[in-house]
Amino acid sequence: MQRNTTTTTTTTLQDVAREAGVSKTTAASILRNQAGFHVSQMTLQRVQEAAVRLGYRRNALAVALSSGRTHTVESFAAPEPEHGFGPV
C-alpha cells in the first residue's frame, strides 16, 4: 500500500500581510472589516488582492481558540418513553 505524501499548506494571515507589505495587525483589521480602522484605499486593495491571490480563508478553530468563543449552541433532548426508556 502506497502512502499519500502530498501535503496541504494553509495560507496564514502572516502570509497575506507579507505579500501585501503590511503588518499582521493591519491585514487582520482589514480582513475583519474592523470598525474605526482607517487605511488608504491602496493598502486596503493590496491586502484584499493578496488574500484572494493566496486563497486565504479564516480558520474558525483558531478564531474560537483565541477568542474563547465557539459560537455553537448545545441542546439536549430527553428520550421519548415509547422508545423503551424509563422516566427521566
Mean pLDDT, the chain, as a whole number? 82
Q: Which domains does the chain have, with CATH numbers?
A: 13-77 (1.10.260.40)
Q: Please choose, from the candidates 53, 47, 55, the residue with its C-alpha nearest in 3D space to the C-alpha of residue 22.
A: 47
At 85, list the grid cell. Answer: 426508556
* DSSP secondary structure code for residue 22 in this structure: S
Low-confidence ranges of the chain (pLDDT < 70): 1-8, 78-88
11 near 28, Cβ under 8 Å?
no
Strand residue runs (E) in 14-84: none
Q: What is the pLDDT of residues 7-29, one digit of tens each?
A: 567 899 999 999 999 999 999 99
Q: Going by C-beta distance under 8 Å and a sequence separation of 6 or more, which residues neighbour residue 21?
A: 46
